[in-house]
Amino acid sequence: MQEINNSSIPPCQNACPVKTRARDYVRATAMGRLEEAYKIITENNPFPSVCGRVCMHPCEEACRRNSIDEPISIAALKRYDSDYVNENGLFIDTSSIITSGKKVAVIGAGPSGLAAAVKVVEAGHKVEVFERNEKAGGMLRYGIPRYRLSDAALDEDIKRIEAKGVKINTGKAVGADINLDDLLQEYDAALVSVGLSDSRALPVEGMDAAGVHLAIPFLKSPKDTKAGNKILVIGGGNVAIDVAKTARRLNTNAEVTMACLECAEEMPASVWEIKEAIEEKIEIRNCMGPRKIEVKGGKAAGMRFITCASVFDKEGRFNPSFKEDEKHFIEADTIIVAIGQQADLSFLPGELTNNGRLIYDGGSLAVTEDGLFACGEVAKGPGAAIAAIAHGNDAGKAINQYLAGQEINLIENESEVIGELPAKVVKKIVKKERQQTSHVAAAVRIKNFDEFDNGLDKQQATKEALRCMDCGSGAFVNQDKCVACLTCVRVCPFNVAQIDKKTNVAEMPAEGCQACGACAADCPANAIDLGGYSLAEILEEVRAAKAQTVGFICQSGQEVNFPGVHQIRVKCPIRLSEGVFLESFAAGAKKVFVICHSQDDCRYIKGGDYVKRRVGYVKEILDNIGIGSATLEVFDKNQKEEIKAFLK
């Protein structure tokens, strides 16, 4: 698919820590080019199946569709694409060739370490990953519960990382099984990406009582924990929610309560996670400052709290204040503490750590000057999986630069981001309902650890991808060809096209252009290019097809199978020029037709009217040539009988 020649990037891409070209893979998805979508997704992210399920998707928060209705379900589309590719065994990339003769060791097979490993192997270096657990994946495997991320999905991503040439040695702990110094001797560079694998304990009395657990060991093997009937989870982040939901599955009848310092609005957990927890009958108690675990006969009996008045001080630092006289007690036989994680750095020499934290240079990610690097949560602190992957990508780059003898420079040029949708354009954009993934009902899903998000089906995914406005992939004017004829200004359905007063040629400002293509199809100077599936690409397909019957079909419509018809699906027929129809005939077609979406559900207002007038003109030409105008028709998608008759 044509690269978009616009220097501004869409906000979804800008918001993504790995700068995934979300717009472009959403478009490919809309066109049914799912393998192509997958390739775009994996340009900077070796965890598509994972991120399609668990990413906190900052892209969606940045989506400009927010100013019209709701953002595109970008993450769900990522899952749809990757599931398709996985299920069909497509695109297993084995293209990396180890050529450099240099070797890199990665300690920890979590998202950041493996992302770094991929970047390093892509540069032609040999990579070996050492993981102390039985399986690769790090917190994705042992921190995220299986009902959010199935083993199968994670395994698929890891399988492909290995196929790229990354060798993963599991069950090998650096420190215990492998000597760190030997490792540093043998390898040209090494990376510490061990994450934050240990839970932090609460500094309160009673932590050692029976029935008190820490989040990470609990999540790692939940079934090893005996869940009581009154389960209390301490913490208000996503890990705490994972713990609470896991506990719910261990005992569907238990009272599960979460207690956290923060008030409801301040809770660090994602809003959708909180919603799902409430659906699963998990009670959330806010503003609770833990004071003491009550212990009876060596067993936990509950927890005492005082009211937390505020979590952050005036400078925004974590510095809670309490109302000592407001006391609370929550009865519990099982208490799980999920208040944060810390690293296990016992394998590193003391001089590399300070107060339990790794010392490293944030600019170069270097721990030492002779090739030891660090990335991910162990370096940067807790964050989302995608942030760890981004940091891993950086570490990979840093290592590659180091191995090439270059100075390490990880500063990327800031790209210009497409601005907000002008209000006048917002008014003209048709509202479209966001396609959501469905969930297994709470009462059913809590009975097992199966994934409960059903993902999008094909129809939903296409519909959802078509909601994307294709920000910034719109019309680009070739200034040499433009004669300022004003056609684009007159035909633009969104009143975006204008003549630039300085250059005296047409321009379609990216913040407003909807990339419909109406102007390009009508431009008499052939001076307008489109991103995405451009006129030139459509023409190429038409010429190459050499089909007897060519059907141009609105992408918004349901897929229909017309035997013997070369179908070209376009996001809206509004971008089909008279030339496209004529070229179809010139390439040998005997019949050409267009199926437009119904007016009431048209992607662009009155898109069909544009097509009908162009088809009308071409019909005249066909009559004049003697081919006859009956060989070209435009239909509404509901005219099923008429379409059948035409194709007979």
Beta pairing, strands 212-214 & 334-337: parallel
As measured in angstroms, the least distance from the Cβ of 409 to other proteins is 45
505 forms part of the interface with other proteins (CB under 8 A): no
Indicate the residue among 535 and 572 with the shorter CB distance to other proteins: 535
Q: Would you say 275 or 481 has its CB closer to other proteins?
A: 481
Radius of gyration of the chain (CA): 29
Query: What is the smallest separation between the CB atom of 579 and other proteins, expressed in angstroms?
Result: 5
Beta pairing class for 318-331 and 299-312? antiparallel
Compute the least distance from the CB of residue 617 to other proteins, in Å.
9
Smallest distance, other proteins to C-beta of residue 528, A: 10
DSSP bridge pairs for 57 = none
Residue type, 605: I
400 part of the interface to other proteins, by CB under 8 A: no
Q: How many residues bind other proteins (CB under 8 A)?
A: 23
Q: Sheet of 591-596: strands edge to edge?
A: 565-570, 549-554, 591-596, 632-636
Distance CA(141)–CA(135), nearest Å, equals 8
Residues 567-606 that bind other proteins (CB under 8 A): 577-579, 582-583, 585-586
Is 490 a binding residue for other proteins by CB under 8 A? The answer is yes
Assess contact for 351 and 247: CB atoms under 8 A.
Answer: no
621 scored as a contact of other proteins (CB under 8 A): yes
Q: Which is nearer to other proteins, 481 or 640 (CB)?
A: 481
Helix (H, G, I), strand (E, B) or coil at 582: helix
The token duo for 527 is 């001076």
Q: Is 499 in the site for other proteins (CB under 8 A)?
A: no
Our CB check for other proteins shows the closer of 358 and 485 to be: 485
Distances (CA, A) of 30 to 61, 458, 475, 532: 21, 10, 19, 11
Q: Give the pairing type, strands 475-477 and 528-530.
A: antiparallel
Q: Contacting other proteins (CB under 8 A), which of 173, 209, 408, 627?
A: 627
Task: Determine which residue in the list 101, 203, 563, 626 makes contact with other proteins, applying CB under 8 A.
Answer: 626
Contact 337, 201 (CB under 8 A): yes
Point out which span in 347-355, 494-502, 522-530, 633-641 binds other proteins (CB under 8 A).
522-530
Stretch that binds other proteins, among 43-51, 77-85, 280-288, 517-525 (CB under 8 A): 517-525
Would you tell me how many other CB atoms lie within 10 Å of the CB of residue 97? 10
CA angle 617, 620, 622 (to 5 degrees): 110
Q: By CB under 8 A, tell whether 625 contacts other proteins.
A: yes
What's the closest the beta carbon of residue 525 comes to other proteins, in angstroms? 5
Tokens of 292: 């003491």
User: Does 527 interact with other proteins (rule: CB under 8 A)?
Assistant: yes
Interface of this chain with other proteins, residues 268 to 297, rule: CB under 8 A = none
Query: CB of residue 632 vs other proteins: minimum separation in angstroms?
Result: 12
Nearer to other proteins, 338 or 582 (CB): 582
CA-to-CA dists, residue 448 to 45, 153, 250, 443, 453, angstroms: 30, 17, 8, 10, 13
- Position among 524, 561, 564, 600 found at the interface with other proteins (CB under 8 A): 524
610 interacts with other proteins by CB under 8 A: no
612 by Cβ neighbours in 10 Å (0-12 / 13-18 / 19+) ranks as: middle
Nearer to other proteins, 42 or 577 (CB): 577
Cβ proximity to other proteins: between 201 and 605 the closer is: 605
Nearest to 194 by CA among 367, 17, 411, 369: 367
Residue length, the chain?
648
630 contributes a contact to other proteins by CB under 8 A: no
Residue 188 beta carbon to other proteins: minimum distance, rounded to whole angstroms: 56
Nearer Cβ to other proteins (293/530): 530
Q: What is the largest CA-CA distance in the chain?
A: 99
Should residue 86 be labelled a site residue for other proteins when binding is judged by CB under 8 A?
no
Q: Which stretch binds other proteins (CB under 8 A): 170-178, 250-258, 289-297, 622-630?
A: 622-630
CB of 535 to other proteins, least distance (A): 10
Min CB(568)–other proteins separation in Å: 17
The values of phi and psi at residue 561, to 5°, are -100, 110
Quote the CA–CA distance of 223 and 476 in Å, as a whole number: 58
Q: Which is nearer to other proteins, 193 or 631 (CB)?
A: 631
d(CA 338, CA 237): 8
Q: What's the Cα-to-Cα distance from 326 to each of 232, 306, 309, rounded to whole Å?
A: 20, 5, 10
Q: Which is nearer to other proteins, 455 or 579 (CB)?
A: 579
**In degrees to the nearest 10, what's the CA dihedral of 516, 520, 523, 526?**
180
Query: Would you say 265 or 480 has its CB closer to other proteins?
Result: 480
**β-pair type (126-131, 230-234):** unpaired
| Contact residue for other proteins among 319, 459, 526, 599 (CB under 8 A) | 526
- 637 contacts 597 by C-beta, under 8 angstroms: yes
Q: What spatial distance separates the first Cα and last Cα of the chain, rounded to whole Å?
A: 33
Beta strands, E only, 412-513: 475-477, 498-499, 506-507
- Residues 6+ away with beta carbon under 8 Å from 33: 1
Q: Which of residues 129-168 bind other proteins (CB under 8 A)?
A: none
CA atoms within 13 A on the CB side of 149: 26
Cβ-based nearer residue to other proteins, 170 or 478: 478
Closer by beta carbon to other proteins, 209 or else 491:
491
Q: How far is the CB of 616 from other proteins (least distance, A)?
A: 12
* Distance of alpha carbon 231 from alpha carbon 247, whole angstroms: 7
Of 170-178, 407-415, 523-531, 638-646, the window that binds other proteins (rule: CB under 8 A) is 523-531
Residue holding tokens 């907000």? 420
Site for other proteins in 551-570 (CB under 8 A): none
544 counts as binding other proteins under rule CB under 8 A = no
Q: How far is the CB of 426 from other proteins (least distance, A)?
A: 25
Q: What is the dihedral of CA 108, 110, 111, 117, to 10 degrees?
A: 30
Site string for other proteins, 468-487 (x = CB under 8 A): -------------x-x-x-x
Q: E-strand spans in 63-152?
A: 103-107, 126-131
Residue (176 or 630) nearer to other proteins, CB? 630
Nearer to other proteins among residue 466 and residue 519 (C-beta): 519
Nearest to other proteins of 207, 621 (CB atom):
621
Q: Which residues bind other proteins (CB under 8 A)?
A: 481, 483, 485, 487, 490-491, 523-527, 577-579, 582-583, 585-586, 621, 624-627
